[in-house]
Amino acid sequence: MLSKKTPFILYGGDYNPDQWDEKTIDEDMKLFKKAGVNLLVLPVFSWAKLEPEEGRYEFEWLDKILNKIWENHIYVFLATPTTAQPAWLSKKYADVLPVDITGRKRTHGMRVFFCVNSEHYRLRARALAEAMAEHYRDFPGLAGWHVSNEYGTYCYCENCQNKFRGWLKKRYGTIENLNDRWHTSFWGRTVYDFDEIMVPSELNDDYRFSPAVQLDYMRFVTDSTIGCYLNEATVLKAATPDLPVFSNISGYIKKLNQFEMVPHMDCAGWDNYPAPTDEPAFIALKHDIMRGAKDGASYLVTEQSPNQQNWQPYNKLKRPGELRRLAYQGMAHGADSSLYFQMRQSIAGQEKFHGALIAHCGEDTRIFREMCVLGQELKKLGRAFVGGRTKARAAIVFDWDNWWALELSSGPTQDMDYLKQVYKYYKAFHSQNIPVDMVKTTRELSAYDVVVLPLMYMVKPGFDEKIRTLVESGKTVLATYMSGRADENDRCIFGAYPGPLGDVFGLWVEETDALYPQESVEITMDGSNIHYPEGAYRGRFLCDILHTTTARVLGRYGRAYDGAQEIRCFYSGSPAITCNDFGKGRAYYVGTEMDTLFMERLVDAMCREQGIYAPFKTDGALEVTCRENEDGQFWFVINHGSEKGCVYLGKALDCKETADYGHSGTVYRDLLRDRNVAGAYEIEAGDVAVLKVMEGMPV
Ligand SMILES: [Zn+2]
């Protein structure tokens, strides 16, 4: 678990008491107790109030509020409020403010609006962290440190430019090596000295036209942000070694490599703000990426909105039961918290219409009542599944460098969206409730029996060997179009794609066709272990034209269509889906973006080959996951649908296809309803259940 001090599910969130008078704060305490809040995060935006002038700290107001919070037995994550620097800091030290991608020096304002490499920002942020650590290290209600907030500023100032040059020198050693790695002979971009290197901005358009430069800049900004985080975190950790230190990651996760950042933290903290149109499986994918950031350890959901957000084009209210369902979905995937932004709705400013526990109209609200119910349930669950891990035998390899490089690449299609593509493969597992880990390229893969490599465009040194060994040892691997194309610097691999993985998949790719959005190609299956309705499958997006060497052809391109109109397709009849027996294992290749039904069946076939099955049979839109800790096994059943669903509770451990669903006698304790259950168990539309395995107990 995150900390021995708080061995329970953390419930509460961001509180900004510097906006409120004493009477309101007293009222808030009563309402927090009523809602079952056990943790508050503060003061995220209070640097200006804590340090009104350089070196003069005013802690009295915060002491008073913290004491009041602790008198009510509520813990706190103390936030270093360094996300919003005070005006005096921006005015006094010019290096603090960032330069944007257009080359404009920005003026004071906003939040997360500083240069992460600014010397004066880092000096003053560290001094503030030191002062807070010194002042609050022994505060009994202190449960952890929340460093800054939603890092993610890209700066293009002269200081960043100099730092970037130093970073490149360290990475590449010599200018000759850099020229080689960036392949600067293309378009005559040779540089003779590191001081000729510019940050990729709108001033030179390198952010669009020089993928190798932009890719390294994104890596550099990630490293700079890690440095900025550690500048404070090391001080806090030294003062309170037993307490967790972390930062919260913005819901928009692409811009910083979280698989690089989070290992520097005691846990991942993620702000979950789904769009109203996001499917439950897409939210689940993001949760699982966060779980993967620290190789399967539990994490924190640091922010959600209790109700509507304010920055979507159309801010739908959370429907009755939705906040509860989203909260349990986070916990079902590995979160040990359900924290919210914000506790009291601000009266003005950008987020005045953003949902809160306590709305402008007070406590007599649907949302407050729903939060009270959730609070009572979490209190009842106590420590339950806290710290629990998810056991998965299947994995999807996810990689930020690959994400960036794929989307930076000009061609073959403007519609490249890595996360959306990965989601198609993730959803095929999720819809069948087969647990899957989202893993880094550096993760040891031998524990997984089925491994999917969606669009593994970039093959990093040693990764091909890892995959080769995995398949040879008897595991099943799937790769797709746009795989094995480039190295770490986005230089394409000489020889045919998928490059060093060609022998494993037993094929080579000659060309890749990009389809217009309305175009599709039928895929005719030649016969395989995949059960399919004939002619029902379609390929879209991209189509590899490939040649097999040792692979068997499972499916071929058939007739092509522009909308409903049949069109000529010169590669009709050529292979689209293949399978290669390699060593003791199998390597599948999918040469085009297939529809959901096909992906579900292929994933099902691969999993069956390895003896992996859904844990339970279900009816309805049920999401089923499991977490296990020293106290046992906890099953989450969430009904995302509008109809009643049913889970057939058989014996869950390594459930085989032949398992006698519903009759094998394992008893589960429904922890929310205080009753023992077995067999067919109905879950109402929108409802959730948390079931603890109770071996040998009567129903
Ligand atoms: Zn800068």
Q: What is the pLDDT of residue 526?
A: 75
Omega before 498 within 30 of 0, i.e. cis: yes
**How far is residue 143's CA from residue 575's CA, in Å, rounded to a whole number?**
58
Q: CB-side exposure of 316: number of CA atoms within 13 Å? A: 11
Contact by Cβ (8 Å): 464, 501: yes
How many A from CA of 155 to the centre of ligand 1? 4
Q: Distance of CA 145 to CAs 77, 80, 236, 302, Å?
A: 5, 7, 7, 12
Closest Cα partner for 321 from 251, 374, 377, 274?
Answer: 374
pLDDT over 70, % of the chain: 96
Catalytic residue among 51, 232, 303, 322: 303
150 is catalytic: yes
Structure tokens at 696: 């040998």
Instruction: Give the angle subtended at the CA of 579 by the CAs of 576 and 582, to the nearest 5°.
Output: 145
196 is catalytic: no
Inform me whether the pLDDT recorded for 333 exceeds 60. Answer: yes
For residues 636-665, average pLDDT: 74
Closest Cα partner for 482 from 399, 560, 555?
Answer: 399
How many A from CA of 241 to the centre of ligand 1? 31
Question: Residue 458's beta-bridge partner residues?
Answer: 486
How many A from CA of 157 to the centre of ligand 1? 4
Per-residue pLDDT tens for 186-199?
Answer: 999 999 999 999 99
How many A from CA of 93 to the centre of ligand 1? 13
Helix (H) / strand (E) containing 281: helix 280-293
Q: Exposed (0-12), middle (13-18) or buried (19+): which is 361, by Cβ within 10 Å? A: exposed
Inform me whether the pLDDT recorded for 698 exceeds 60. Answer: no
Helix (H) / strand (E) containing 451: strand 450-453
- The band of 659, judged by pLDDT with boundaries at 50, 70 and 90, is very low
What is the torsional sign of CA 355, 358, 360, 364?
positive
Inform me whether the pLDDT recorded for 607 exceeds 70. Answer: yes
**How far is residue 478's CA from residue 603's CA, in Å, rounded to a whole number?**
9
How many A from CA of 81 to the centre of ligand 1? 20
For residues 198-214, average pLDDT: 96
Q: Distance of CA 30 to CAs 62, 140, 339, 379, 572, Å?
A: 19, 20, 18, 17, 70
How many A from CA of 116 to the centre of ligand 1? 6
- To which residue do tokens 């068997």 refer? 552
- The band of 494, judged by pLDDT with boundaries at 50, 70 and 90, is confident
How many A from CA of 221 to the centre of ligand 1? 10
Per-residue pLDDT tens for 274-291?
Answer: 999 999 999 999 999 999
- The band of 650, judged by pLDDT with boundaries at 50, 70 and 90, is confident
For residues 210-238, average pLDDT: 98
- The band of 658, judged by pLDDT with boundaries at 50, 70 and 90, is very low
How many A from CA of 699 to the centre of ligand 1? 63
**How far is residue 466's CA from residue 370's CA, in Å, rounded to a whole number?**
48
Q: What is the pLDDT of residue 3?
A: 87
Structure tokens at 677: 């259950």
Closest Cα partner for 111 from 80, 91, 89, 84?
Answer: 84
β 679-683/645-649 pair status: antiparallel
How many A from CA of 365 to the centre of ligand 1? 45
How many A from CA of 115 to the centre of ligand 1? 4
Catalytic residue among 22, 54, 60, 150: 150
Specify the 3-state DSSP secondary structure of 579.
Answer: strand
How many A from CA of 181 to the centre of ligand 1? 25
- The environment of the single-atom ion ligand 1, i.e. residues with CB closer than 5 A, is 115, 117, 155, 157, 160
Q: What is the pLDDT of residue 364?
A: 97
Length of the chain: 699
**How far is residue 327's CA from residue 304's CA, in Å, rounded to a whole number?**
9
How many A from CA of 459 to the centre of ligand 1? 31
Closest Cα partner for 194 from 178, 214, 210, 218?
Answer: 178
Omega before 533 within 30 of 0, i.e. cis: no
Q: What is the pLDDT of residue 534?
A: 57
How many A from CA of 358 to the centre of ligand 1? 38
Closest Cα partner for 407 from 223, 252, 200, 211?
Answer: 211
How many A from CA of 120 to the centre of ligand 1? 11
How many A from CA of 144 to the centre of ligand 1? 29
How many A from CA of 126 to the centre of ligand 1? 18
Q: Which amino acid is at 641?
A: G
Per-residue pLDDT tens for 90-112?
Answer: 999 999 999 999 999 999 998 99
**How far is residue 639's CA from residue 650's CA, in Å, rounded to a whole number?**
18
- The band of 24, judged by pLDDT with boundaries at 50, 70 and 90, is very high
How many A from CA of 234 to the centre of ligand 1? 22
**How far is residue 411's CA from residue 124's CA, in Å, rounded to a whole number?**
45
- To which residue do tokens 């149109």 refer? 277
Lowest mean per-residue pLDDT among 200-209, 248-257, 519-528, 570-579: 519-528
Average pLDDT across the chain, whole number? 95
For residues 459-482, average pLDDT: 97
Q: CB-side exposure of 48: number of CA atoms within 13 Å? A: 13
How many A from CA of 153 to the centre of ligand 1? 9
- To which residue do tokens 């809160």 refer? 356
How many A from CA of 108 to the centre of ligand 1? 14
